[in-house]
Structure 1
Amino acid sequence: MSFESACTWLSEHAPDLRLIDHGVSTATVRDAALALGVPEARIAKTLALRFGDRIVLLLAAGDVRLDNAKAKAAFGQRPRMLSPEETLAVSGHPIGGVCPFGLATPLPIYCDLSLRAFETVFPAAGSLTSSVELPPERLASLIGAEWTDVCSRPPNQTTHQP
C-alpha cells in the first residue's frame, strides 16, 4: 500500500515526475546513493520525529545528522525518533521507504536547509526500492514543508556534487 499511496499522490500532484524503481534496495542512504550513482548527501532522507506530543517529518541531506541542540531550539523540545511501528502507523510507509508523499496521517513536514546545497535531491517514494528526483525548492513546495535548520554535518565533512 505504501508505494501505491506515494504513486497515487505523485500522479495527482506532480505527474511530470518520474518514479525510479531501482530493483535493488534503497532502504539506507548508502544503498540509495549506490543505486543512483550519486553522493550520499543528495539522498533526501526522511526522519519521523516526536517533540513531546507533536510528530513531524523532517527531510534532510543524507550526509547530515540531526543536531539535538538546534532541534530543541527550533521545536522547543528535544527530538525523539519514532519506532519503526510508530513510523509505519503515522506515515503509512515502512522504514527505508518513508517519504512525504501519500501519507496515512497528515503531518507537519520540514525540510532542513542542508537540502538547498543541491540542484536536485532523491527522496524515497514509499518502498524499499524506489525514489524520485526533484529540486529541493520544488520538493518543499509540493509537500507544503517549512524550511528549518536543525541538522549539522559531522566535523571534517564537506558536501560535494558530482
Structure 2
Amino acid sequence: MAIERVREYFKQWGLENRIMEFDVSSATVELAAQALSCRPERIAKTLSFRLGEQCILIVAAGDAKIDNAKYKAAFGAKAKMLSADEAEACIGHAVGGVCPFAVNGGVKVYLDQSLKRFGTVFPACGSSNSAIELTPQELEQYASSFSGWVDVCKNWRENG
C-alpha cells in the first residue's frame, strides 16, 4: 500500500509519526480541508502530468489552478494531466492519495509558488485518508526528486 511506502520513506528523517490518518476521506481538496479543519487553500494538492516521455508532479495550493500559458512557458509543452490509471502506474500512488513522497524513480517534483504564502500546508501521504503538516521549506526538503519552484498557477493571489 502506498501509505506504507510513504511511512517507510519518512523513517529516514524520523517523521513517520507525523503522518495523520483519518476515518474519513481526504481524497479531494474539500474533503481534506474538512478532515483537517483548515481552509481549502492550505491543502497541498499534487497534480500529475505527462511531459514528453516523463511524468512530473506539481504540488500547488488547494485554491490554485494550472495556468496553461504559464505551464507552457515553464515546461515548453502543453499541460497534459495523467489519467487515474496512468497516475498510479507512473507515479506510484493512486488518485486521491498522490503525493510528492516515495514516488517512482524518474518522476520529478515541482512546487508551485502558491504554497509559499502559508506557514504550513497539508499534502497527502499516499492514501485517500492521510496527510502530513509541513512548512513549504520542509516540503521542498522531503519531496522526492525535488526539481525546483515554479509559477504555473492562477486564481490564488486574490485568496492570499
2:151 matches 1:149: yes
Change in CA separation of 1:133 and 1:145 when aligned onto 2, cut-off 3 Å: farther
| Contact 1:17 1:134 (C-alpha < 8 Å) held by counterparts | no
Name 2:35's counterpart in structure 1: 35
Change in CA separation of 1:80 and 1:99 when aligned onto 2, cut-off 3 Å: same
Matched residue pairs, number? 158
2:17 matches 1:2: no
| Residue deviations 1:128-150 (CA, integer Å, cap 9, x gap) | 10000010111012222410000
Name 1:49's counterpart in structure 2: 49
Change in CA separation of 1:154 and 1:60 when aligned onto 2, cut-off 3 Å: closer
| Residue deviations 1:12-46 (CA, integer Å, cap 9, x gap) | 23527601111100000000001101111000000
SS in 2 for 1:72: helix
| Contact 1:17 1:132 (C-alpha < 8 Å) held by counterparts | no
Name 1:123's counterpart in structure 2: 123
Residues in 2 aligned to 1:136 and 1:18: alpha-carbon distance in whole angstroms: 16
| Residue deviations 1:111-156 (CA, integer Å, cap 9, x gap) | 000000100000000101000001011101222241000001169x
Identity of aligned residues (%): 43
Alignment of 1:64-79 (within 5 A): 64-79=64-79
State the AA in 2 paired with 1:58: I
Name 2:132's counterpart in structure 1: 132
Deviation at 1:52, TM superposition (A): 2.6
Change in CA separation of 1:14 and 1:147 when aligned onto 2, cut-off 3 Å: farther
Residues in 2 aligned to 1:138 and 1:17: alpha-carbon distance in whole angstroms: 15
| Contact 2:54 2:107 (C-alpha < 8 Å) held by counterparts | no
Residues in 2 aligned to 1:37 and 1:27: alpha-carbon distance in whole angstroms: 15
State the AA in 1 paired with 2:85: E
| Contact 2:54 2:106 (C-alpha < 8 Å) held by counterparts | no
| Contact 1:25 1:32 (C-alpha < 8 Å) held by counterparts | yes
Residues in 2 aligned to 1:154 and 1:100: alpha-carbon distance in whole angstroms: 21
| Contact 2:114 2:156 (C-alpha < 8 Å) held by counterparts | no
Change in CA separation of 1:17 and 1:119 when aligned onto 2, cut-off 3 Å: farther
Residues in 1 aligned to 2:115 and 2:106: alpha-carbon distance in whole angstroms: 22
